[in-house]
Structure 1
Amino acid sequence: MGYKVKRKAYRLRFEDPDMDGLVVLVHGMNTGKFIEFQNAKAKQEDAGPDEMSPTEEMCRMFVDALIEWNLEDDDGNLLPPTMESLESLDLDFSMAMVNAWPDAVKGVSDPLPQTSAGGQPSVEASIPMAVPSASLAS
């Protein structure tokens, strides 16, 4: 009897306070798609004029994985989760979503809150130590 892998969905998280309230749900990516995405990201600067730009390639992969989002146009109408809608958004906003996708898939954890001490001091460090006595000559 075999094991069937369940397809995952991810809710993207954003650090930018301007994106507070944004909900973006995407499918996960298989290993091949992740490698393809990373390769496109690495060659963003080197694309020739006749090739699909790596940025466009990354955006198309993202839109293909997009399940839903709660983005609205200026009139309050929901934008469909399409390439055309993504292209209508400011570049920094679009790329924040596109780049959050592989981070979610590979499990980048949220940073610790600024108030976090990152752990407690070791108990052993607070135990007083006696100064060892000088060695006795035989």
Structure 2
Amino acid sequence: MGFKPKKKIYELKFEGDPDLDGLVVKLRGLNTGQTLGIETAREDGSEDAVNGMLRTYADRLVEWNIEGDDGETLPLTLDSILGLDPDLNDKVIRAWTAAINGVPAPLDSASPDGVPSLEASIPMDVPSESLAS
């Protein structure tokens, strides 16, 4: 019997960005070739590379709550993506690739202050002998 990897779906939320608060996007994961294609598109920046990246984004899109001017949820198509602000698409793609690469979300709150460890205060070098004046 062989091994079949599970297909992952990433649910992206943008609660830390006031411009995108409430946006929810779900995308399927990428294979290695698609991941490399997105990284190359970012570095290359050519129209062909970016169009390929946006096609991959459209192909992997499962769900979102982005509405058009009529109040209806936009269809999950490349045309809908092309009609969005480039900054929005960039933020979604960056959040998606960060989720795929396992970049953890920011902590909900600051870590509590702690006491410095004793080991950190122990000098590790042998002090030099003082010179006679």
Pairs aligned (count)? 120
Alignment partners' CA distance in 2, 1:112 and 1:26: 23
1:65 pairs, out of 48, 60, 66, with 60
TM-score normalised to structure 2 length = 0.78
Matched, 1:3 2:3: yes
2:21 corresponds to which residue?
A: 20
Alignment partners' CA distance in 2, 1:105 and 1:115: 25
Alignment partners' CA distance in 2, 1:5 and 1:74: 40
State percent identity of aligned pairs: 40
Which structure 2 residue ranges, 5 or more long, are not aligned? Answer: 120-133
Partner SS state of residue 53, structure 1? helix
- What stretches of structure 1 move > 3 A for 4+ residues in a row? 122-125
Max Rg structure? 1
Instruction: For residue 102 of structure 1, report the CA deviation from its aligned partner.
Output: 1.0
Partner SS state of residue 84, structure 1? helix
Alignment partners' CA distance in 2, 1:53 and 1:3: 35
2:98 corresponds to which residue?
A: 103
2:71 corresponds to which residue?
A: 76
Which structure 1 residue ranges, 5 or more long, are not aligned? Answer: 126-138
Alignment of 1:26-65 (within 5 A): 26-44=27-45, 47=46, 52-65=47-60
Alignment partners' CA distance in 2, 1:82 and 1:43: 24
